[in-house]
Structure 1
Amino acid sequence: MIKRHKIIVVIFILILFPFGCMVGPKYSKPEQQKTDSYKNERNLDSLANVTNLKWFDLFNDDVLKDLIKKGLENNYDLKIAVSRIDQLRAQLGYAKADLFPSFQYGATINSNDKNFTPSTAGASMSWELDFWGKYRHENNAVQAELLATEEARKVVLSDIVSNIAYAYFQMRNLDEQLEITKSTLETREKYYEIINQRFKNGYISEVDKVQIEQQVAIAEAAIPNIQRQITYQENTIALLTGQLPTEIPRGKSNTELRIVSEIPLSLPSALLENRPDVKAAELRYKAANERIGVAQAMRFPSLNLAAIAGFASADLSNLFLGSSYLQNASAGIAGPIFAFGKNKRRVEINRQQAEQFKFIYQKTYIGAVSEVEQSIQNIKTYKEEWKARDRQVKAALINFNLSRERYDSGYVSYLEVLDVETNLFNAQLSLSQLSERQLSSMVELYKALGGGWNL
């Protein structure tokens, strides 16, 4: 009885002791190049909780919000990301199971008394003690990878939301360009009828007629080109929202959206900690760091416990008698002696892999700072450029009307009118494109900050 108690005490100590012994490096967050604020912050207003905003609510376009909602419900990339998270959750449970003993059962029946193989029925237990922390390190690594995958899901989510917005703004820009082109074509066709009649009456030369005819053809050719681009953007939105190709509904114009979307900005560098790709990169480095401990633990001997209890008898009829009962417990140790540096190299391989993930994390952070800085500059400069282009369009429109009056009065050739009208047309297209770029740059800033995705 005393001997049995001693065995129990020894086993109990062996079970508890491993949890106080864990080889491998402890994780510490890599140092990052920090800046208290971005250089453009002095030019901008502040916003306390930018990351908690749903930026697309600020555009006040129900059609856009409905498309984004459909994208979050139906997008296949997001469904794939969620499936990967579920897979890693299962993998985490699989890794955790290695920390505990495994139990098996088995039975054999032999009706031949002369056979040397007895009949048996019993259960067994086997357990590799996590003495050096191999399984705990692996468990920590998988847990970090699970968290990284959840952050990757947020990256996919932000990509879906922003890509739908980009495609929507581009589609509305093309809609506006189509209207500008149709209006220009209508004006040119009307003028063509006037000039053609004047040519027939001998008041003007054929040069004026050919010039306006050429401009009509240019406007006509531009329309199907824009229509193709609109269809492409509609198909892009349909794919992002998990739909078959279909006509996409329209909401507010880009000009209307631009007016209501004056977004204040808050840009402390700590805000980048909310970026899911930055978080994911750090978690992948953490997982790689844990696997250094796994490799180091594999250089040490493994400790195993085993136990069996059951019945065994050559006579099947006596299998479950008390005399047939047996039990046994054992402990074993096994480890590498000499493997020509293989185990040492395994540790070095994992150490270098962790080093690579650390560099990736640091690069991701620096890239995030750069993206925010560029997004701020884009918003500022697009706003200034839009104001200048708007003045250009207004001036070009006045100039065009004056030029037509001068031509009708016979003071200038139609070549001057064409030049002025072309400048107006190009200025209107540029203004439309700038409205889209302004909206897209605001989306880019929120994406760069990692905010607005708490849906």
Structure 2
Amino acid sequence: MMKNLKLVLVLLAIAVFPYSCMVGPKYSKPEQPKTDSFQFGNKTTDTTANVTTLKWSTIFNDDVLIGLIQKGIQNNYDLKIALARLEQAKANLGIAKADLYPSFQYSGQVNSAQTFLQQTSLTANMSWELDFWGKFRHQNKALQSELLATDEARKVVLSTIVSTIAVSYFELRDFDNQLEITQHTLETRQKAYDIINERFKSGYVAELDKVQIEQQVAIAEANIPLIKRQITALENSISVLIGQVPAPIERGKTNNDLLILSTFPTSVPSALLENRPDVKRTELLYRASNERIGVAQAMRYPSFNIAALAGFVSPTIGDLFTDASYLQNIGAGVSGPLFNFGKNKRRVEVNRQIAEENKLVFQKTYLIAISEVENALQNVAMYKEEWTARNRQIVAAQKNYDLSNARYYNGYVSYLEVLDAQRSLFEAQLSLSQLTQKQLSSMVLLYKALGGGWN
């Protein structure tokens, strides 16, 4: 008995010792380009601040839009898929953690015949592969990184859902506004047609004036079903995003009444690593692949195993639990590769190249993130300037139309001038409506590009 106890103590010492031995490279974060500020950012902005803690619900002032986004977060199938993948990653990590500990099994067998070949038995056994070279620890670290990367992927899906619903809603309200502008233009043109048609019948104007305004009425009429089709398509798209069957979407404020927080803290580009979930995800995948190099290297070395068995074995059931039937044993073993034509060495090289690929993906994602912020910052600034110019254009176009209309009815110009002025006003109104939508959308996309708080 004392001999067995000593053997157990020796084996336990061997089991504890290897946790200081781990083969494989240590992780180090890849270097990234350094810059103090964004090219199109506000140079006076506090660069220590970021938008991580700024919740998406605080940047909108439309309860209907906020409600749609909340429905999307609750019901969107892409987000549900991402959550299912997160739970799967948690389960895989739990499976891998179990490899660090011994496994226990039991077995029992009953036979009516008294034979030594098939004896009655009730035994329990233990087997344990010692993590001498860190194979299981590297695997666990890899899965932990992949679990965190899966959570970052969930955040990417979440940010995409929130921003897509918001942008789609702005586009929907833009089409509503375009429909209203077009219907008003059609009404104005129809009234002008009625007047000119009566004047044509009375012989005061030429037929050319009549057919010109008739053409413009038809153009406005043709635009209405086009806009209605676009509205239906957007409503169906938003319905899918919020996880419901296609149905009309509730409206809130118009784009002209909507306000979005227009100033976000634009931290230095390196802070994107702390904000952007897609950047964090690719870095975590690189970290995981780096750990798997250690797994592959550990497979090149011998593996050490401890096994133990205890139980009762007897030819007859009646003698099963007697002292003579009791059996116990404990032992250790070693096994390892001897010669496999370089397969294990190449496995290490394969994992090194996978890690290198993931590092390059991480670096590329980082640069894309900076580029997206630069584009978003420039879009926000330029859309503001363009909107101001378009608004001045509408004021001038409206005055031009009023003057041309008055000049026509006083007989100074042909109706062609009135039509040209009316067409310019119509196009300017549609352009301003689209720019209002783009302004709102650019704010959302800037918030997303900066890694806003989507949690």
TM range, normalised to the smaller chain? over 0.9
Indicate the residue corresponding to 1:174 in structure 2: 175
Find the aligned partners of 1:183 and 1:43 in 2 and give their Cα distance: 45
Question: Aligned with 1:50: secondary structure?
Answer: coil
Indicate the residue corresponding to 2:19 in structure 1: 19
2:251 maps to 1:250: yes
Indicate the residue corresponding to 1:406 in structure 2: 407
Deviation string 1:97-128 (CA, Å, 9 cap, x unpaired) is 00000000001112211453221111000011
Indicate the residue corresponding to 2:269 in structure 1: 269
Question: Aligned with 2:251: secondary structure?
Answer: coil
Question: Aligned with 1:316: secondary structure?
Answer: coil
2:351 maps to 1:317: no
* Amino acid aligned to 2:152: E
Indicate the residue corresponding to 2:200 in structure 1: 199
Find the aligned partners of 1:38 and 1:6 in 2 and give their Cα distance: 67
Find the aligned partners of 1:43 and 1:183 in 2 and give their Cα distance: 45
Indicate the residue corresponding to 1:302 in structure 2: 303
Find the aligned partners of 1:262 and 1:151 in 2 and give their Cα distance: 26
Matches within 5 A, 1:33-182: 33-42=33-42, 45-46=45-46, 48-114=49-115, 116-182=117-183
Query: Following TM superposition, by how much is the alpha carbon of 1:406 offset from its aligned partner in structure 2, in angstroms?
Result: 0.3
Q: Any conservation in 2 of the 1:180–1:429 contact (CA below 8 Å)?
A: yes
Find the aligned partners of 1:106 and 1:165 in 2 and give their Cα distance: 61
Find the aligned partners of 1:233 and 1:217 in 2 and give their Cα distance: 25
Q: 1:246 to 1:34 in 2, by over 3 A?
A: same
Deviation string 1:218-277 (CA, Å, 9 cap, x unpaired) is 00000000000001111111111111111111111111225x643344232233121000
Question: Aligned with 2:421: secondary structure?
Answer: helix
2:186 maps to 1:210: no
Stretches of structure 1 lacking an aligned partner (at least 5 in a row): none
Q: Any conservation in 1 of the 2:152–2:281 contact (CA below 8 Å)?
A: yes
Q: Number of residues paired by the alignment?
A: 453
Q: 1:46 to 1:387 in 2, by over 3 A?
A: farther
Find the aligned partners of 1:12 and 1:6 in 2 and give their Cα distance: 10
Q: 1:144 to 1:121 in 2, by over 3 A?
A: same
2:332 maps to 1:328: no
Find the aligned partners of 2:301 and 2:367 in 1 and give their Cα distance: 39
Q: 1:402 to 1:295 in 2, by over 3 A?
A: same
Q: 1:45 to 1:292 in 2, by over 3 A?
A: closer
Find the aligned partners of 2:217 and 2:86 in 1 and give their Cα distance: 57
Q: Any conservation in 1 of the 2:236–2:246 contact (CA below 8 Å)?
A: yes
Find the aligned partners of 1:43 and 1:124 in 2 and give their Cα distance: 69
Find the aligned partners of 2:208 and 2:445 in 1 and give their Cα distance: 49
Q: Any conservation in 2 of the 1:164–1:240 contact (CA below 8 Å)?
A: yes
Q: Any conservation in 1 of the 2:282–2:358 contact (CA below 8 Å)?
A: yes
Question: Aligned with 1:331: secondary structure?
Answer: strand
Q: 1:392 to 1:290 in 2, by over 3 A?
A: same
Query: Following TM superposition, by how much is the alpha carbon of 1:59 offset from its aligned partner in structure 2, in angstroms?
Result: 2.8
Deviation string 1:345-374 (CA, Å, 9 cap, x unpaired) is 000000000000000000000000000000
Q: Any conservation in 2 of the 1:57–1:65 contact (CA below 8 Å)?
A: no
Question: Aligned with 2:357: secondary structure?
Answer: helix
Question: Aligned with 2:28: secondary structure?
Answer: coil
Q: Any conservation in 2 of the 1:155–1:276 contact (CA below 8 Å)?
A: yes
* Amino acid aligned to 1:149: T
Indicate the residue corresponding to 2:342 in structure 1: 341
Find the aligned partners of 1:257 and 1:444 in 2 and give their Cα distance: 16
Indicate the residue corresponding to 1:388 in structure 2: 389
Q: Any conservation in 2 of the 1:309–1:326 contact (CA below 8 Å)?
A: yes
RMSD of aligned residue pairs (Cα, Å): 1.4
Q: 1:114 to 1:93 in 2, by over 3 A?
A: closer
Deviation string 1:56-100 (CA, Å, 9 cap, x unpaired) is 433311111111111111111111111111111111000000000
Q: 1:291 to 1:114 in 2, by over 3 A?
A: closer
Q: 1:196 to 1:37 in 2, by over 3 A?
A: same
Which range is displaced more, 313-322 or 183-192?
313-322
Question: Aligned with 1:60: secondary structure?
Answer: coil
Which range is displaced more, 363-372 or 262-271?
262-271
Q: Any conservation in 2 of the 1:170–1:436 contact (CA below 8 Å)?
A: yes
